[in-house]
Structure 1
Amino acid sequence: MRPERKKRRPPIEAGSPVWLFDLDNTLHRASHAIFPAINSAMTQYIIDALQVEHEEADWLRVSYTQRYGATLLGLARHHPVDPHDFLKVVHTFPDLRTMLRCERGLARLIAALPGRKMVLTNGPQAYAHAVLAELRIERLFERVIAVEHMRDRRGWRAKPDPAMLRKAMRDANVRLADAILVEDTRGHLKSYKRLGLRTVWIVGHLPRRARADGRPAQLPGTGRPHYVDWRIRSLKSLRLGNRSARLKGRQTCSRSASMTRP
């Protein structure tokens, strides 16, 4: 007797969907070159600003991200660091175009989705707009909600802060029940699922995990946590409503976007 096949999850549907796209490792593969460059720049900035050794600077960078959602928030709270200078220094790349990797036909995939589209990123505004411009998808989003827009009178905030998201959605005239968050970071999805958002976990851009036995590296994103409504490998699945397709090729985004620009 053949085993019963698992039913495929239906495509996400909504009356008036509002898509909230994370930027890095969601709209492009930041793990390829950009994340390593940002991490290195952050560590060096902390070394120079706080006069600490490399090991301590690296520990501060990682621990502040884990504790507050962004290294910037920890530095702003505990050290005399200029947040705007920090954001500018660690997110400026003269060779940004060559560092980007994305899915084939990215502009068509985003444009085909019904409803409003926004970017919600813990990165700075200038960096987000630069990436979207290189990907040639900037015009597809009605607004970019970057870390500078997440501040309130009490200070800097970032994902996955619930109060920040509520305010950002009020400012954008978006009901939380209409929002669909597409994100690679599970902690952000878990936090915002409690607010009533629908959640999409994209895993196709995440780095592979090394195996201890020397076999080929394991693909990330095994299983689907309870707070994830839909787990996909490719943005293509948002449109097709089928199981995620494995990304093919590692072309540069500038080339891909020029081939598929509407």
Structure 2
Amino acid sequence: MSSQESAISVPSSHVLSRRRRARRARSEHGTRGPVWLFDLDNTLHRASHAIFPRINHAMTAYIVERLGLAQDEANLLRSTYTERYGAVLLGLIRHHAIDPHEFLAQVHVLPPLAEVLRAERGIARLVAGLPGRKILLTNAPANYAMPIVEALGIRRHFERCVSIEDMADRRGWRAKPDATMLRRLLVREGLAPARTWLVEDTRSHLKHLRHFGIKTVWITGHLPIRNSLGKVMPRSGRPHYVDIKVQSLRELRASLATGEGAKRVARATRSRQLNPN
């Protein structure tokens, strides 16, 4: 297993039940208007304030303990695997045969969220005010993501959470920006790419997944000035693969109310009406 992803069995009954849940969610949340695929960390809350430093420290400590590396080497490996695979977990599975469930459980232990969680004022109202369906799409595990979503008061506005466990298939673990994962998600949830918007802080995810014809929103207000290795984080300009660049959800709401953002969403909605799935 040292050079291959660990296999995950997905029973056919579980796949069928997910499809039934998706149909039920579409009926409850509606099928008109855009569909928003929301990242979690540094998109819906400021993970870089206190949560990411804790997780990064825990990941480095895990790598030091399991692989016997010095701390500087472990930090570099963590950063390299994040950039190459989208998630540290995938690199550790592929190259070092670690136990993925053990890793996820050990590195996502947080203190009471009231001590570390930071987000925009009125975030629940801002999320609720976006037209259309909302799905959470995060490379984090569910037992980390869901308590944060609950603490933010936005759980009821999302029809489902797609965590890193949900991205897995019979061939192994996957994470953003994996193309197969997104293709399966679009089909399973009945999403038309032309009216689907990915809201992310990570530019590489936006760049790779925009090839599917989805729209992209780059949210920059929660990004740190530098990453955990001291490298400057890019925040200026609007890359060609970004349809809308904003600093906050409040700014996104404003751009959708007037201006080019509103025109783009309207075009996506018309595309859905003319070309239904």
> Same fold per TM (> 0.5)?
yes
- Contact kept, 8 Å, 1:203 with 1:220, in 2: the verdict is no
Aligned partner letter, 2:154 = I
- Paired residue secondary structure (2:59): helix
State the 1:199 CA deviation: 0.3
With 143-152 and 165-174 compared, the bigger mean Cα shift is at 165-174
CA distance in 1, matches of 2:193, 2:103: 32
Partner of 1:117: 134
State the 1:209 CA deviation: 5.0
- Paired residue secondary structure (2:212): coil
CA distance in 2, matches of 1:220, 1:47: 29
Partner of 1:37: 54
Work out whether 1:180 is the aligned partner of 2:197.
Answer: yes
Work out whether 1:157 is the aligned partner of 2:171.
Answer: no
Partner of 1:146: 163
CA distance in 1, matches of 2:50, 2:103: 19
Listed as ranges, the matches of 1:199-214 within 5 Å are 199-209=216-226
Aligned partner letter, 1:230 = I
- Paired residue secondary structure (2:185): helix
Runs of 4+ in 1 over 2 A off after TM superposition: 94-97
Listed as ranges, the matches of 1:81-120 within 5 Å are 81-120=98-137
> How high is the TM-score relative to the length of structure 1?
0.81
Q: 1:59 aligns with which of 52, 70, 76?
A: 76
CA distance in 2, matches of 1:174, 1:95: 36
Aligned partner letter, 2:243 = D
Work out whether 1:221 is the aligned partner of 2:235.
Answer: yes
Q: Which has the higher helix share?
A: 2
CA distance in 2, matches of 1:124, 1:178: 27
State the 1:222 CA deviation: 1.0
Structure 2 unmatched ranges of 5 or more: 1-30, 260-277
- Paired residue secondary structure (2:72): helix
Root-mean-square deviation (CA, aligned residues, Å) is 1.9
Structure 1 unmatched ranges of 5 or more: 1-13, 211-217, 244-262
Q: % of aligned pairs identical?
A: 57
CA distance in 2, matches of 1:71, 1:113: 32
State the 1:96 CA deviation: 2.4
CA distance in 2, matches of 1:26, 1:118: 13
Deviation by residue 1:165-219 (Cα, 9 ceiling, x = unmatched): 1101222221222210100000000011111010000000011259xxxxxxx99
CA distance in 1, matches of 2:77, 2:233: 28
